[in-house]
Structure 1
Amino acid sequence: MARLPIDTRYLGSILARLLAIPSPTGFTDTIVRETCAEVESLGLTATLTRRGAVRVVLPGAEPRPARALVAHLDTLGAQVKNLKDNGRLELVPIGTWSARFAEGARVSVFTDKGYLRGTILPLKASGHIFNEEIDSLPVGWPSVELRVDARAGSAGDLARLGLDIGDIVAIDPQPEFLENGYIVSRHLDDKAGVAVLLAALKALIASGERPPVDVHFLFTIAEEVGVGASSALTDDVASVVAIDNGTSGPGQNSSEFGVTIAMADQTGPFDYHLTQTLIRLCQEEDISYRKDIFRYYRSDAASAIVAGHDVRNALVTFGIDASHGYERINMHALRSVAELISAYALCPVRIQRDADQSTDGVVGFTRQPIPDHMAPDLPEIPAKGPVRPVD
């Protein structure tokens, strides 16, 4: 099976549109509506959970065992913790990210009356006032405050402007799309993943090929706070592949080029057989790939398992430099991931028993490569050549 061509112009265009829509966790209605409209433009219908997770089903030859491809629409952000006596706002983060990357950020604060613009600043922001003290101020959310671009010198002034505790603060993405394929922006985690899913879906529809089983394209709305795909799956889904950012940097094997397949995150190893299937597809389709393990990382693939879903899970990533900060990625990785997941959507189902949530006995159950003397009831594994477990 030849890998499908991915429309990278479309991928970049939809990514730019998504980045322009503020969507910190808890404030995702607008981007949910935009995603549904885009899905409808591709000729499919989106269904929503009560809170707004989006499900799109690409029909296959059989409904089960369905496959799910998941990315998240929500991003990092902040909330107003307190109206300060000096006319500034105290903040708490939405999601896990350092105040080091908040300093200097331009933001929008959404209130019941509309929105205000502002800037997140350290408590000691001016060298003309504090001299070298600005360099000794600790890094942390207690050490920053939000200056709104309105006349406010007291907590009362802020209240009169309509500001209140709990207001959502969206961080400007400040995207740049460079001619050499690099994309620099906040919130590439995981709007780049959403763009990849939509580009893969577009390629699958254009190909006219029918997947062997239904493929659920899921767009979740609370991954950054750990909820993710916990309540977005239906019972016919047997495997979940999350599309999210890899962590390029010292001590990691992720790359800003090609596909990075996660072998484990902080919740433990991903499903052996599903992960091996993805690796084999990269080899067969000549898609550049590498493997990595993420120690301080949790994704939609993990949240589905933690929520109690009996599904195989895997994580496919595009390596991002400076994740949860000023992020950078290359279009080569985004295209490569889209190629892989479209190939996965069309590849044959190898574990037929996954169509049922439970079956009697071990007939049809999977095998992992293990020497015969460690498991006498299993056939001997060849001494030479690659081992191809049933997957």
Structure 2
Amino acid sequence: MDYVHYAVNKIVELCSIPSPTGFTQKIINYLVEEFKKFGFTYEITNKNNLVVELNGEEENGIMLVAHVDTLGAMVKSIKSNGRLAISKIGGFSFSTIENENCRIHTREGKEYTGTIYLTHPSSHVFNDVNSLKRTEETIEIVLDQKVNSKDDVLELGIMPGDFVSFEPRTVVTKTGFIKSRHLDDKAGVGILLGLAKAIRDFTTEPKRKVYMMFTSYEEVGHGAASGIPEDVTEVISVDMGAVGADLESNVFSASICAKDSGGPYDYEIVSKLINAANIAGINYSVDIYPYYGSDVESSLRAGHDVKHGLVGPGIYASHSYERTHIDAIEATLKLLQTYLTLD
């Protein structure tokens, strides 16, 4: 079974499901159906994290964590001209969403499309198109509806607090590049689905009990703060490896994080991940991300006594229109398969 291409196909499907932080029920339901097919035991926590038990009765369990929530926005207010002001969800620059198509999800279950524009979008009309700072005050949504007033928008059922998702524009090229919004962290989720399938097929046989957790609030800092089973002693985030200047990571390899904004990751776990990468014979890097935080750090801050690590495929242009390569998906999957078979 080609688990790598299976994972890539799942990444494409996952990217098509809107899931800004706090609006993740649809994608959690999708994952539930996938794990039902595998026959694994699962539960959904109060904060809408999905926890799946994959094997074994042994203690000293390991949990692999990926987050389903993405960057997004909420309707902040409805303007008198029928356009929408937004409040962002997660840490991104407003310049990265300018001119993107989006969807507005109402509390009644309706869905409307629109486009995110600068308030002064036309260089033929405004002389400050280049200089105008992109902020909540200068970015707005123009709805694909015939609306000219606040009352027109209210009649559609749109209101402040409605979620806004960004069009992912997912593309897989013939040369193996995967380009999309929200590869952070739907690439990680797809990899874990591929790993779960390999465990189900007994092509990967872990030495320890394995759980997977899929969180709904990572982008705002408390995804894996709760819901960790009592027999788990180790948590590894499977999230993107950031690519950029002064970093070794690239879009063709797996990245093992040694330290990020929360401090060093567990020495033993990082060393064991490096050993697994060498045994697997994959391309990998060891990196330090100065402006990065992961799910497992929220676990530690919540008081869980666990060892922690972070690994993931190299992803370029994080929190923007992201890109990686199937080689990085394969490298990360093989690293995790090897890691789980080590004592």
Task: Mark yes or no: TM-score above 0.5.
Answer: yes
- Structure 1 residues 209 and 107, CA, compared in 2 at 3 Å: closer, same or farther? closer
Bigger shift: residues 106-115 or 269-278: 106-115
1:346 aligns with 2:341: yes
Give CA-to-partner distance per residue, 1:158-202, whole Å, 9 cap, x none. Answer: 111211110100111000001111000000000010000010111
Contact 1:77–1:95 (Cα < 8 Å) also in 2: yes
Q: Report the CA distance between 1:46 and its aligned residue.
A: 2.0
Runs of 5+ unmatched residues, structure 1: 349-391
Contact 1:220–1:232 (Cα < 8 Å) also in 2: no
The correspondence for 2:17, drawn from 13, 21, 25, is: 21
User: For 2:185, what is the secondary structure of its paired residue?
Assistant: helix
User: For 2:293, what is the secondary structure of its paired residue?
Assistant: coil
Alignment: residue pair count: 342
Counterpart position of 2:30: 34
1:333 aligns with 2:301: no
The correspondence for 1:236, drawn from 224, 231, 238, is: 231
Counterpart position of 1:381: none
1:153 aligns with 2:148: yes
Give CA-to-partner distance per residue, 1:56-80, whole Å, 9 cap, x none. Answer: 11113x4210000110011100001
Give CA-to-partner distance per residue, 1:19-77, whole Å, 9 cap, x none. Answer: 111000111001000001011112213211122211111113x4210000110011100
User: For 1:64, what is the secondary structure of its paired residue?
Assistant: coil
Q: Report the CA distance between 1:6 and its aligned residue.
A: 5.0
Distance 2:247 2:313 in 1: 13
Q: Report the CA distance between 1:346 and its aligned residue.
A: 2.0
Match of 1:276, as an amino acid?
S
User: For 1:55, what is the secondary structure of its paired residue?
Assistant: strand
1:54 aligns with 2:53: no
Identity of aligned residues (%): 37
After superposition, the CA RMSD in angstroms is 1.3
Distance 1:293 1:83 in 2: 42
Counterpart position of 2:188: 193
User: For 2:277, what is the secondary structure of its paired residue?
Assistant: helix
Detail structure 1 runs of 4+ shifted over 4 Å in the superposition: none
Which structure 2 residues correspond to residues 194-209 of structure 1 after superposition, within 5 A? 194-207=189-202
Runs of 5+ unmatched residues, structure 2: none
- Structure 1 residues 297 and 303, CA, compared in 2 at 3 Å: closer, same or farther? same
User: For 2:59, what is the secondary structure of its paired residue?
Assistant: strand
Look at both structures and tell me which one has the larger radius of gyration over its CA atoms.
Answer: 1
Contact 1:68–1:216 (Cα < 8 Å) also in 2: yes
User: For 1:233, what is the secondary structure of its paired residue?
Assistant: coil
Contact 2:185–2:239 (Cα < 8 Å) also in 1: yes
- Structure 1 residues 254 and 208, CA, compared in 2 at 3 Å: closer, same or farther? closer
User: For 2:210, what is the secondary structure of its paired residue?
Assistant: strand
User: For 1:128, what is the secondary structure of its paired residue?
Assistant: coil
Counterpart position of 2:107: 112
1:291 aligns with 2:283: no
Distance 1:304 1:254 in 2: 25
- Structure 1 residues 116 and 163, CA, compared in 2 at 3 Å: closer, same or farther? same
Distance 1:23 1:312 in 2: 29
Which structure 2 residues correspond to residues 76-87 of structure 1 after superposition, within 5 A? 76-87=71-82
Contact 1:6–1:338 (Cα < 8 Å) also in 2: no
Distance 2:115 2:268 in 1: 48
Distance 1:49 1:347 in 2: 30
Counterpart position of 1:73: 68
Counterpart position of 1:122: 118
Contact 1:6–1:203 (Cα < 8 Å) also in 2: no
The correspondence for 1:165, drawn from 157, 160, 164, is: 160
Distance 2:271 2:280 in 1: 14
Distance 1:21 1:283 in 2: 35
